[in-house]
Structure 1
Amino acid sequence: MAGEVMDNRGRGEARSSLPSVHPEGRKYALICLGLSLISALLAWETLAWPLAFLSLCILAFFRDPERVVPRGDALILSPADGTVTQISEVEPPLELRGEEGGLGHEPVTRISIYLSIFDVHINRSPCAGTVGTMSYVPGKFVNAELDKSSEENERQHIIIMRSDGVAVGMTQIAGLVARRIVPFVKPGDIVAAGQRVGLIRFGSRVDLYLPQGTSPQVLMGQRVIAGETVLGRLGETVELEGLQQ
């Protein structure tokens, strides 16, 4: 019917709905809920209610909402929900350089996104392509907002090779509370832009490395959404200017 409001999948009238919960978090929520029920049966109400509340918090943390991914071969999308805390020119990490199929040794723009415990922690591919190098590095758990967390914390580096041969790099970094990085993909997998590629448990940071000749399309302090917010357009070097308000 002409003029009918459709959802982003063309399935009738658009409406809001609760996001699903990723399976990685369901087991923790069920454990807390089970302990809450046992505590209630034993009349330990001072323990039962906090455990019940904790189970709800876990479900909220592992929520996995659907995203509307913008189309465009030149778009580089945000890999994470959160706040842009750093935009800087840096040499790529050793694990992302690569002799072939890497970012090389020349400085590139790094956009750092900090995820608080209230943000969605499912990470998504910044572009379509093939998963190249994946390098896990064990490390510390210092505050993910600090610049040194890129070199000292537990982290996982991922290269996405576009069909045109351009490499886009991202790094999942565990934070002060985070204790595990969970990948959903492996080298050789073909991914779509905005596809889920992993998660980080309980507070973290994700760094995105733009290809050379590409300027950031976001500002410091800006909130971004994984799979939806455009961080850069390949080959576009127009710098944004603005004030945080």
Structure 2
Amino acid sequence: MKFHKEGYSTLAICVLFIFVANALIHFYFSENSYLIWAVYILSFLLFITIVQFFRSPIRKLTADDLAIVSPADGKVVVIEETEETEYFHDKRIQISIFMSPINVHSNRSPIKGVVRFFKYHPGKYLMAWNPKSSTLNERTTIVVENERGIPILFRQIAGALARRIVWYVEEGKEVKQGEEFGFIKFGSRVDVFLPLGTEIQVKLGDKVTGGVSTIAQLNI
């Protein structure tokens, strides 16, 4: 387990806030031991919350060209046939994974391949489970084509709490299956769009682990 690089600035601000808050409490309320201990406890809980949110577990994956691994930790909230209107402009199977604030928020590539398309969209911050969040919220769209020529689209979507999407990919670059491609701070969702006929291996409500859980299997 390690601390994610995206959390350094947040942790620094948290530590500074805790230091200033405790210093002020000791200066103005030095005789109120109940208040001092209450602030100690709240400070500890705040610190632990930030540390657990930006934790970055080390995971090992056995690569499989036909497997689609989960791009995020969280719960499967959507499995449906839908029209993908940004890149494919045809019908696809959509799987959506909701990440709560207690989940690991690094995002991992569901397949190995070359990035054929990338676009960042500024937008709103609707609740991540709102169907309109896929098209109205701040988001990125990434398409990776594997060695068999099969493109898979996945989309980072900011939620109501998320105010920053981070990505580490660019068009023309190769990504490995399970490799980290981005991060979303404080609550979010990832959508995956798969070819019709793909064998889905999860069901609604399933808990999945990014870079580890197989959510679907390509049929070739």
Q: Taking structure 1 as the reference length, what is the TM-score of the superposition?
A: 0.81
Q: Structure 2 regions of 5+ residues with no counterpart?
A: 28-35
For 1:54, which of 46, 49, 68 is the aligned residue?
A: 46
Contact 1:33 1:52 in 2 (8 A): no
CA deviation vs aligned residue, 1:54-82 (integer Å, no higher than 9, x gap): 22211111111012213321111110110
Q: Which runs of 4+ in 1 moved over 6 A?
A: none
1:93-104 equivalences under 5 Å are 93-94=85-86, 97=87, 104=88
CA deviation vs aligned residue, 1:143-179 (integer Å, no higher than 9, x gap): 1011111111111100111112110110000001111
Q: Structure 1 regions of 5+ residues with no counterpart?
A: 1-18, 98-103, 237-245
Task: Tell me whether 1:32 sits opposite 2:14 in the alignment.
Answer: yes
Cα distance in 2, alignment partners of residues 165 and 204 from structure 1: 29
1:143-222 equivalences under 5 Å are 143-222=127-206
Cα distance in 1, alignment partners of residues 115 and 39 from structure 2: 45
What is the SS of the residue equivalent to 1:107? strand
Q: Which has the higher contact order (CA 8 A, sep 6+)?
A: 2
What is the SS of the residue equivalent to 1:24? helix
Cα distance in 2, alignment partners of residues 119 and 88 from structure 1: 24
Contact 1:26 1:59 in 2 (8 A): no
Task: Tell me whether 1:79 sits opposite 2:71 in the alignment.
Answer: yes
Task: Tell me whether 1:88 sits opposite 2:80 in the alignment.
Answer: yes
Cα distance in 2, alignment partners of residues 231 and 199 from structure 1: 20
Deviates more, 1:185-194 or 1:46-55: 46-55
Cα distance in 2, alignment partners of residues 213 and 134 from structure 1: 25
What is the SS of the residue equivalent to 2:198? coil
Q: How many residues align?
A: 210
Structure with the larger strand share: 2
Structure 1 vs Structure 2 CA RMSD:
1.6
Deviates more, 1:42-51 or 1:142-151: 42-51
CA deviation vs aligned residue, 1:12-60 (integer Å, no higher than 9, x gap): xxxxxxx111111022112211221233233164656534432221111
